[in-house]
Amino acid sequence: MHVRRHAILYDIDRWRRFRLPLLLLATGFLVATLVEPVFNHGKAGGGGTAPLSFAGAALYGFAFNFWLRQRFSTLAVEGDTLVVRRTGMSHRIPLAEVRRARVAKVSATANKPERRRVLPRPVAKWLEMEALTLRLDTPADQLVKLRRLLGKQFLFENDLVVPVADADGLLREIEEGRPRPEPAPGAPRRRRRR
């Protein structure tokens, strides 16, 4: 069975916004590191390339981290669990612990100023974004682990709000994988006397 992974849109947007500036600046620093000895050949006081090469390598490191996050941060339904992956780490949420699942705008959950403060910039763009919203019936220690994995912009109390690619498709997969509630046992039928 093929597991369909749904990319987290926050990470894709971060990569798209910062890749060009990071890569251009890093390349500029490294080119300056290579060119600087040519212009200072034989002059005293040369050797100022260490900070430039360090800055270039650090910027390439940030760019690589952002690429890894956008590539490997996903949500997927595997059997009866929702698997949240974030750059080599994962957390499993049993679908039995999902009390409510729906697709709604982020603004429906981030409706207070303290909740809006943790959203990525520009906030207005993300408030209008459709996101998978799950009300979780999970123990507090598991919610803390999930918050550490994802970050505070995804979890508001026990509501998990994640803008993903094809949120409606992921919602269908969750609904199909959730256990069906047992029908409530009815009162025994009484027979009529004649």
For residues 29 and 100, state if they share a domain.
no
Domain for residue 19, yes or no? yes
- Give the amino acid at 133: T
Half-sphere exposure of 152 (CA within 13 A, CB side): 6
- pTM score, whole prediction: 0.77
Q: CA 148 to CA 146: how far, in whole Å?
A: 5
Pair 62, 108 in one domain = no
Count other C-beta atoms under 10 Å from residue 124's C-beta: 10
Looking at the domain assignment, is residue 189 inside a domain? no
Domain that holds residue 139: 79-177
Q: How far apart are CA 68 and CA 62, in angstroms?
A: 10
Tally the domains of the chain: 2
Q: How far apart are CA 14 and CA 18, in angstroms?
A: 6
Residue-level pLDDT, tens digit, the chain, 194 residues = 578 899 989 999 999 999 999 999 999 999 988 888 777 775 655 567 788 889 999 999 999 999 999 999 999 999 889 998 988 888 898 988 888 889 988 888 888 888 778 787 887 888 888 899 898 888 888 888 888 888 888 888 888 888 998 989 999 998 888 777 666 566 566 667 66
